[in-house]
Structure 1
């Protein structure tokens, strides 16, 4: 669509035969044609919530994207459904226009249904009962590593997600390189300003002690997302020290536990950019050819077993995989680090030791 940031609803050709989404402040999300013929999505606000929108802040969100450098705007558009224009109905803000998510973020067997991060929390029984794919731990971590990388990018642009929870983020399926895609960007904070005067977020994803959305609340929710998806339990609260020992080094688990500490003073003042080495290591667990790997305190980088058919056993909690993809025993129970894929752990260990007041830092 052209560079204008506002359009009258009557100038859109809206396909109202079926909504792609809805709920919360949204009446529905409909495919439409902009005045110049471009195919976009129209996110229509509920009549009862239109008065909660600050039109000037929402227009500023749209202009903010237009003013990004071409490279940053391309990257933003690849990972988020950012509003491209405000839709006006008379003097009222009726909604926003945005790009549709790429096809790889839609369910294969349900046309029009997007695949959000709740898919990463499916357990094997649920997957078998509803014939839905089950995601192995390396794919979960690779997708969530991309989420952490994306948060670092957004925070670097002075953007806070705010209502970060699994329904507001999409993920790719069980093939290809895992990626995520952010939704509901019209409610993000840009330079501390939120277009919605009334803030809504689900109770299970509220940050204890937080009164406003900040980068730190984003990191709390991101760490909680990682833990809940790995545990395949979206109600998980208690992260124990030895959780996920089969799929994560203990230093990574320590970071997740620190970021989700129940009391605000107990959480480290970390930035998303500081988590990039860990996020890159998670992304490296799935290669372009589909090969999957695992990192933990036993393995620096070992091949993850790929199931060959129904009933194939997968590594149990607390037991690292002991076989390669071909089923042959691994040559060594401890493998040397793959320096191309595994970051040094020292930076996180030193940070956490310092934060906890370890005597090693007082020498």
Structure 2
């Protein structure tokens, strides 16, 4: 991507390798908000640029599912930015606001990086209620288990974090989850990644120390050693937490009931690299222990009342869910229904839209659990076609001779109705007071009509009789003609 395509940029933060700018519009439609990391002049042309380009190539090589998972737990570079032919920076999705908090005093927005896990609970309480859950070791273990899960995901794809520190990982609550930062500096095995500039001073690793060091490259084992320090220090917050080392493992043993946690973290901090566990082994221990202290919801059972139905009819989904505060029921063709377990504790009816399983996602502040129903086969209602036969064809109808004769006979008949004549009303002939004469004159038309009613009736009756006589003459059959015989 060209630098000139980025539009308006607003400064956000500045680090040792570059400065981060907020972009007024996203250059990639897959992300609503993005930022631009511009490398400092002294970084251009160094290995940092090579690692940034490799990070973009790595993401491009992933499947859509892996790419979505990577974007969920990291602020991974999406594309490099070039000025001419020189790589000068990268663009990344902006970190979600859930990974920030507002400082009560200054009112500034501050990222929730892992440094906050080192602060004792009394000081955290002064920052507001957003950190109250960190008083639970179960929540802390769950955050750390998430951290190690991401590390395992990366290691299985031969990606080395290298510079693990508290500033390079952020966290959010409800549910507890993490997001890796500064991913443009990660290394990719089997190519070597030198340890220069890849180790925060308080995260020194035995094999990378000394003069000269026993090893000059970072790898999976150096990541595990630093992860052991992260777990130990985050589980024992308070004064001196940033300096805790392998000798302080006893502090952890007194806090966590299951001694296997302390033993496994102790193995992470072993000087002998061969004793260090893999990220997968460490995750299994942390996840098991955190589940006993803070667990996501449990879905013991889920089923449907029918696995075959017509489109548009209801399917009743039943479940046995504990520990959930919210849920979502999803299915084929975009079905997405919010479930209120207080109203629907054992199940609900949903419209069948397409063939496939339904998926119930139950969540609480510790995480989410997803379970699918058996497949539901949805059928279309068959179309009903009725074959209506054509009506029989009717031929022309012969005209009736008598009717034709009647029409010809009536063609000359005309009925005339005499016009009605209203006789004049003479007010002088009425025995009325003189002062009423003008009013009577106004009633002249109505009075004339009443007086002439008998005459009009007689005229109409006479006209009807005349019409009847003429119709009778027209319909009377003609007399037969006489035949004359001729002798042959």
Same fold at TM > 0.5:
yes
Return the offset for 1:44: 1.4
Return the offset for 1:10: 1.2
**CA radius of gyration, larger in:** 2
Q: Does 1:255 align with 2:252?
A: no
Q: More strand by proportion, 1 or 2?
A: 2
> TM-score by structure 1 length?
0.69
- Aligned residue for 1:158? 158
Whether the 8 Å contact between 1:87 and 1:96 is mirrored in structure 2 is yes
Say which of 261, 272, 280 aligns to 1:265.
Answer: 272
User: 2 CA distance for matches of 1:204 and 1:119?
Assistant: 16
3-state SS of 1:163 partner: coil
Return the offset for 1:93: 2.1
Q: Does 1:47 align with 2:30?
A: no
Say which of 276, 283, 286 aligns to 1:279.
Answer: 286
Which structure 2 residues correspond to residues 175-324 of structure 1 after superposition, within 5 A?
176-193=174-191, 199-210=197-208, 211-232=216-237, 233-237=241-245, 238-241=247-250, 243-261=252-270, 264-265=271-272, 268-284=275-291, 285-287=294-296, 289-290=364-365
Whether the 8 Å contact between 2:9 and 2:21 is mirrored in structure 1 is no
Matched positions, count: 280
Return the offset for 1:119: 1.3
| Closer, same or farther: CA 272–197 of 1 in aligned 2, 3 Å | closer
Whether the 8 Å contact between 2:193 and 2:218 is mirrored in structure 1 is no
- Aligned residue for 2:78? 84
Query: Cα RMSD between the aligned structures?
Result: 2.7
3-state SS of 2:101 partner: coil
Whether the 8 Å contact between 1:105 and 1:172 is mirrored in structure 2 is yes
User: 1 CA distance for matches of 2:93 and 2:162?
Assistant: 21
Whether the 8 Å contact between 2:6 and 2:23 is mirrored in structure 1 is no
> TM-score by structure 2 length?
0.53
Which structure 2 residues correspond to residues 103-182 of structure 1 after superposition, within 5 A?
103-109=97-103, 112-131=109-128, 134-173=134-173, 176-182=174-180
Larger relative contact order, structure 1 or 2 (CA cutoff 8 Å, min sep 6): 1
* More off after superposition, 126-135 vs 237-246: 126-135
Return the offset for 1:219: 1.0
| Closer, same or farther: CA 248–148 of 1 in aligned 2, 3 Å | farther
Return the offset for 1:111: 5.8
Residue-by-residue CA offset, 1:324-344 (whole Å, 9 max, x unaligned): xxxxxxxxxxxxxxxxxxxxx
Residue-by-residue CA offset, 1:126-182 (whole Å, 9 max, x unaligned): 224555985432111110001111111111111111111110000113xx1211100
- Aligned residue for 1:63? 57
Point out where structure 1 has 5 or more consecutive residues left out of the alignment: 1-6, 293-363
| Closer, same or farther: CA 62–32 of 1 in aligned 2, 3 Å | farther
Point out where structure 2 has 5 or more consecutive residues left out of the alignment: 209-215, 298-363, 368-488
| Closer, same or farther: CA 140–224 of 1 in aligned 2, 3 Å | same
User: 1 CA distance for matches of 2:37 and 2:192?
Assistant: 17
Whether the 8 Å contact between 1:61 and 1:83 is mirrored in structure 2 is yes
Return the offset for 1:125: 3.5
- Aligned residue for 2:321? none
Return the offset for 1:36: 5.6
